[in-house]
């Protein structure tokens, strides 16, 4: 039995040998290759690879023994999954009701005028992706934008532009990342004390 | 862990908190953190690190949402024997001052201007039941929740009540589903309980897709254990051993905190197998959504949990008869589960005493838009809209006047100023052509154009329509195109008639709630603000090339899948 399992794993390992596939495999194993776990697997795949390229979808489909059309159907149904590579920086403008009545559309128009990208597009030099979100649930701070997973509230077209330019020129590193790693340390300490 | 262990744990934690001279509670929810709350917390933590001897008398706690989000970052100072003091708009410099004043005991009044009085209408008109712990406990610590009497309801239900008694308690309380439709929760529980199958499921709907609503997110982030406890009680009452929480993909913090909460509760034996040393087993798993509004619809949500495209299926059979993998499934909103523990603790009569005859209890609203105090509020049902907007919300800022309040998101409608005195409950709002919805309340002032708002919501529904049934898929596109003509000033009177006919058709023939309620914002603005539409209409308009192009374009350029 054990032998069979290891042979199976050897057979289906991705031929490219890309170590990132190991992370996808880990999620597949955690859910015991259940077909119902497709969305969870796609979440991991997107987290690891940044977007869902065709090759990746084929790999997931074969691992879960699902038709490729099924996997593709799910991946395109949900807004969260992206089939195209994202830029180095992403700027998501919230277009929820509260942000909308507080002129979030002006920010989108500015991005289009300044960088020539509409929501859902990436600049030609792959530096900046622009997206809109339905509601980020921070309506008290409307209008809200998210740049590289930092939530910034009470934005105007000008402040957004300044922030993006600073990021593009590398002056500001993503704050969230630093905070997150600090948090993890604290958590580990807490876990030890428990 | 059994009931007496739980009590001991709670008492020990409470004693520890009371022996701490001063507790600095910093709001750690997303709005406060993104307006500079992280830096404030770091100041306090830095002070604590430098002065190790302070550890016995000073505690810095990162809590959940305190409510008035527009005034963040918020810090609440708790000192034994003194009333709490809340500071608004705290900066790192101010944090130092707060420390000097309350901990070192120095005589400085620099922070005085930022004190938020506890008796302003924003606080005094609210009644916190579901959010009782929010802003007072550290959501990442199980002990904090237990110190506030957490998991006691589960312990009592398991020890002293039969599943049938739990269900009848919920029926007697008059609790109605907080997700929007307002179906009596107890009846749903009873349906699932009576089903005779070997497997059943409990699902918490945390896919809060309405733009302008963030009650569920806050509840999951600020008090995750309350949701888990409610689900466990539901599991006991209906006979399920497995629960799922479906969290929106946009809420990573909520998912993280819930995951941690589940882990801690399992470690203490409050979830998992043999809950509190009884024969009851209950596991909870998290499912992360992937950004589809339609997944808030219960059948679509179940499809998504099963890893499929989130497309609804016709009902009946209802999920209570045939849900996840064909087994009876109890689906309730996160906020509904949040109301369960207080009902079991205080009794059905107590809960039924709050609110109006047909809508009992309290409701959380996310107050946003053109209003002075935006934030999260919990009010008794039946409170007037005027009290919410003008007393709690502090009115419309910048000298503008109130025009309308939008409730229920894309499925709801706009309530004009004439109806400000209607009580806010399920039935009154429905009469006005809106719905309670999950609790988003966006205030609009006189600068907002109503046809534009209707167009905004129609675009939302057009984009989010899953495409399964024709009335919704095509109807939303057609309505959006007419609304585009209206706002561009090139629509005719005939267009208004066509819109109304289309709306009725969609309401009557769509498969699920999304399509049936998508016309609501349009219909309610047509009902109350028809003059705005008519002002944009020209009857004798020549067929210009612009208008011709708009009228004949077969498919609208849509956003690419991102």
Residue B430 domain-assigned (yes or no): yes
State whether B461 and B387 are in the same domain.
Answer: no
Q: Do A96 and B293 touch (CB under 8 A)?
A: no
Percent of chain B with pLDDT over 70: 96
Task: Tell whether the model's pLDDT for residue A20 goes beyond 70.
Answer: yes
State whether A72 and A147 are in the same domain.
Answer: no
State whether B214 and B260 are in the same domain.
Answer: yes
Cα–Cα nearest to B409, from B242, B521, B273, B539: B521
In sign, the C-alpha dihedral spanning B505, B510, B516, B521 is: negative
Residue A124 domain-assigned (yes or no): yes
Residue B504 domain-assigned (yes or no): yes
B404, with CB counted inside 10 A (0-12, 13-18, 19+), is buried
Q: Do B562 and A154 touch (CB under 8 A)?
A: no
Residue B139 domain-assigned (yes or no): no
Q: Do A131 and B562 touch (CB under 8 A)?
A: yes
A-chain CB neighbours of B72 within 8 Å are 140
Residue A45 domain-assigned (yes or no): yes
Whichever domain contains B110, its CATH number is 3.40.30.10
Whichever domain contains B527, its CATH number is 1.20.1440.230
State whether A54 and A14 are in the same domain.
Answer: yes
Residue A191 domain-assigned (yes or no): no
Number of other residues whose CB lies within 10 A of the CB of residue B389: 24
Residue B1 domain-assigned (yes or no): no
pLDDT on residue B556: 46
B502 three-class SS? helix
pLDDT in tens, A103-134: 888 999 999 998 888 888 888 888 888 988 88
Percent of chain A with pLDDT over 90: 29
The predicted complex's ipTM stands at 0.84
State whether B417 and B467 are in the same domain.
Answer: no
Q: Do B31 and A141 touch (CB under 8 A)?
A: yes
Task: Tell whether the model's pLDDT for residue A37 goes beyond 90.
Answer: yes
Of B212, B291, B562, the CB nearest to A97: B212
pLDDT in tens, B329-381: 999 999 999 999 999 999 999 999 999 998 999 999 999 888 988 889 999 99
pLDDT on residue A62: 94
Task: Tell whether the model's pLDDT for residue A140 goes beyond 80.
Answer: no
pLDDT on residue A7: 46
pLDDT on residue A194: 42
d(CA B10, CA B17): 11
Residues of the domain holding A118: 89-173
pLDDT on residue B549: 57
State whether B191 and B316 are in the same domain.
Answer: yes
pLDDT on residue B541: 57
Residue B197 domain-assigned (yes or no): yes
State whether B166 and B24 are in the same domain.
Answer: no
Q: Do B250 and A136 touch (CB under 8 A)?
A: yes
In sign, the C-alpha dihedral spanning A96, A97, A98, A102 is: positive
State whether A96 and A32 are in the same domain.
Answer: no
Residues of the domain holding B454: 450-551
Q: Which of B442, B473, B508 represents a domain boundary (last residue)?
A: B442
Nearest-CA distance A140 → chain B (Å):
5
pTM, two decimals, is 0.88
Residue A119 domain-assigned (yes or no): yes
State whether A112 and A138 are in the same domain.
Answer: yes
B-chain CB neighbours of A82 within 8 Å are 561-562
Rg of chain A in Å (alpha carbons): 20
A-chain CB neighbours of B437 within 8 Å are none
State whether A56 and A101 are in the same domain.
Answer: no
Angle of helix B450-464 relative to helix B520-528, nearest 10 degrees, comes to: 170
Domain count, chain A: 2
d(CA B302, CA B294): 11
Q: Which of B411, B442, B473 represents a domain boundary (last residue)?
A: B442
Q: Is the CB of residue A180 less than 8 Å away from at least one CB of chain B? A: no
State whether A53 and A115 are in the same domain.
Answer: no
Residue A109 domain-assigned (yes or no): yes
Q: Is B467 left (phi over 0), alpha (psi -120 to 50) or beta?
A: left
Q: Do B562 and A40 touch (CB under 8 A)?
A: no
Cα–Cα nearest to B371, from B391, B353, B357: B391
d(CA B558, CA B110): 54
Residue A158 domain-assigned (yes or no): yes
CA A91 to chain centre: 12
pLDDT in tens, B497-527: 999 999 999 999 999 989 999 999 999 999 9
Residue B558 domain-assigned (yes or no): no
Of A81, A119, A153, the CB nearest to B290: A81
DSSP structure string for A82-109? -SS---SEEEEEE-SHHHHHTTHHHHHH
Domain count, chain B: 4
State whether A93 and A169 are in the same domain.
Answer: yes
State whether B159 and B253 are in the same domain.
Answer: yes
Q: Do B212 and A98 touch (CB under 8 A)?
A: yes
Q: Which of A77, A103, A138 represents a domain boundary (last residue)?
A: A77
State whether B201 and B256 are in the same domain.
Answer: yes
pLDDT in tens, A164-184: 888 888 776 655 444 444 444
Identify the closest residue of chain A to B73 by CA–CA distance. Answer: A141
Number of other residues whose CB lies within 10 A of the CB of residue B531: 9
Of B72, B218, B406, the CB nearest to A97: B406
Interacting residues of B36 by C-beta distance below 8 A, sequence separation 6+: B73, B90, B91, B92
Q: What are phi and psi of B444, to 5 degrees?
A: -120, 140
State whether A37 and A71 are in the same domain.
Answer: yes
State whether B385 and B252 are in the same domain.
Answer: no
Residue B2 domain-assigned (yes or no): no
Average pLDDT, rounded, for chain B: 89
DSSP structure string for B391-446? IIS---STT--EEEEEESGGGSEEEEGGGTTSB-SHHHHHHTT----SSEEEEEET
Pairing label, strands A89-94, A128-133:
parallel
Residue A7 domain-assigned (yes or no): yes
Whichever domain contains A153, its CATH number is 3.40.30.10
Residue ranges for chain B with pLDDT beneath 50: 554-562
State whether B467 and B418 are in the same domain.
Answer: no
pLDDT in tens, B298-315: 999 999 999 999 999 998
B-chain CB neighbours of A153 within 8 Å are 31, 34-35
State whether A97 and A168 are in the same domain.
Answer: yes
Average pLDDT, rounded, for chain A: 80
Q: Is the CB of residue A73 less than 8 Å away from at least one CB of chain B? A: yes
pLDDT on residue A142: 80
Cα–Cα nearest to B81, from B11, B18, B138: B18
State whether B412 and B454 are in the same domain.
Answer: no
d(CA B139, CA B133): 9
Residue A123 domain-assigned (yes or no): yes
Cα–Cα nearest to A147, from A122, A170, A174: A174
Residue B140 domain-assigned (yes or no): no
């Amino acid at each position: 039995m054990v032998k069979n399992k290891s042979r199976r794993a050897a057979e289906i390992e991705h031929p490219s040998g890309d170590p990132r596939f190991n992370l996808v495999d880990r999620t597949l194993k955690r859910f015991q290759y259940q077909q119902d776990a497709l969305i969870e697997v796609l979440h991991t795949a997107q987290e690891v690879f940044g977007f869902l390229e065709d090759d990746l979808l084929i790999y997931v489909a074969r691992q879960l023994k699902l038709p490729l059309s099924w996997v593709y159907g799910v991946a395109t149904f949900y807004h969260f999954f992206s089939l195209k590579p994202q830029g180095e920086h992403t700027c998501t403008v919230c277009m929820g009701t509260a942000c909308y009545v507080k002129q979030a559309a002006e920010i989108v128009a500015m991005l289009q005028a300044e960088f020539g990208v509409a929501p859902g597009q990436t600049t030609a030099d792959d530096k900046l992706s622009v997206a809109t979100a339905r509601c980020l649930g921070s309506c008290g701070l409307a209008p809200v934008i998210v740049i590289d997973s930092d939530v910034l509230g009470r934005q105007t077209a000008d402040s957004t532009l300044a922030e993006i330019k600073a990021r593009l020129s590398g002056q500001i590193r993503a704050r969230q990342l630093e905070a997150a790693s600090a948090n993890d340390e604290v958590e580990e300490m807490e876990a030890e004390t428990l | 862990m059994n009931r007496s262990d739980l009590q001991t744990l709670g008492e020990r934690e409470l004693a520890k908190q009371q022996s701490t001279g001063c507790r600095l509670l910093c709001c750690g929810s997303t709005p406060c953190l993104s307006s500079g709350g992280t830096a404030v917390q770091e100041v306090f933590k830095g002070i604590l690190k430098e002065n190790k001897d302070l550890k016995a008398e000073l505690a810095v706690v990162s809590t959940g949402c305190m409510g008035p989000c527009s005034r963040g970052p918020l810090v609440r100072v708790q000192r034994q024997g003194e009333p709490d003091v809340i500071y608004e708009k705290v900066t790192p410099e101010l944090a130092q001052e707060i420390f000097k004043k309350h901990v070192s005991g120095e005589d400085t009044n620099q922070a005085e201007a930022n004190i938020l009085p506890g008796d302003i209408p924003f606080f005094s008109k609210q009644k916190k039941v579901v959010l009782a712990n929010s802003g007072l406990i550290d959501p990442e610590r199980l002990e904090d929740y237990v110190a506030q009497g957490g998991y006691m309801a589960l312990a009592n239900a398991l020890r002293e009540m039969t599943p049938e008694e739990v269900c009848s308690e919920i029926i007697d309380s008059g609790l109605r589903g907080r997700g929007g439709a307002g179906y009596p929760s107890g009846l749903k529980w009873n349906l699932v309980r009576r089903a005779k199958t070997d497997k059943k499921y409990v699902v918490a709907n945390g896919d809060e897709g309405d733009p302008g609503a963030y009650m569920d997110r806050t509840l999951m982030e600020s008090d995750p254990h309350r949701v888990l406890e409610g689900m466990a009680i539901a599991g006991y009452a209906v006979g399920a051993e497995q629960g799922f929480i479906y969290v929106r993909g946009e809420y990573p913090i909520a998912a993280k905190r819930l995951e941690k909460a589940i882990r801690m509760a399992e470690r203490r034996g409050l979830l998992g197998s043999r809950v509190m040393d009884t024969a009851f087993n209950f596991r909870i798993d998290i499912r992360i959504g992937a950004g589809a509004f339609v997944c808030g619809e219960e059948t679509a949500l179940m499809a998504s949990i099963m890893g499929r495209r989130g497309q609804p299926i016709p009902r009946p059979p209802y999920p209570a008869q045939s849900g996840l993998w064909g087994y009876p499934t109890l689906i309730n909103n996160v906020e509904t589960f949040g109301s369960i523990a207080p009902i079991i603790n205080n009794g059905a009569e107590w809960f039924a005493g709050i609110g109006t005859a047909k809508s009992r209890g309290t409701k959380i609203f996310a107050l946003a838009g053109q209003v002075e105090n935006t934030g999260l509020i919990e009010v008794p049902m039946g409170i007037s809209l005027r009290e919410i907007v003008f007393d709690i919300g502090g009115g419309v800022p910048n000298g503008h006047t109130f025009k309308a309040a939008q409730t229920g998101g894309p499925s709801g409608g706009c309530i004009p100023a004439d109806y400000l005195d209607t009580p806010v409950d399920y039935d009154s709002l429905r009469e006005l052509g809106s719905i309670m919805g999950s609790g988003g309340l966006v205030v609009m002032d006189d600068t907002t154009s109503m046809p534009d708002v209707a167009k905004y919501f129609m675009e939302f529904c057009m984009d989010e329509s899953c495409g399964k049934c024709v009335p919704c898929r095509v109807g939303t596109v057609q309505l959006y195109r007419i609304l585009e003509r209206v706002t561009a000033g090139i629509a005719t009177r005939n267009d208004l008639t066509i819109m109304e006919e289309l709306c009725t058709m969609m309401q009557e023939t769509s498969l699920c709630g999304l399509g049936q309620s998508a016309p609501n914002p349009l219909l309610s603005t047509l009902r109350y603000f028809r003059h705005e539409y008519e002002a944009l209409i020209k009857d004798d308009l020549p067929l210009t090339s612009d208008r011709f192009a708009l009228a004949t374009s077969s498919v609208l350029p849509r956003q690419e899948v991102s």
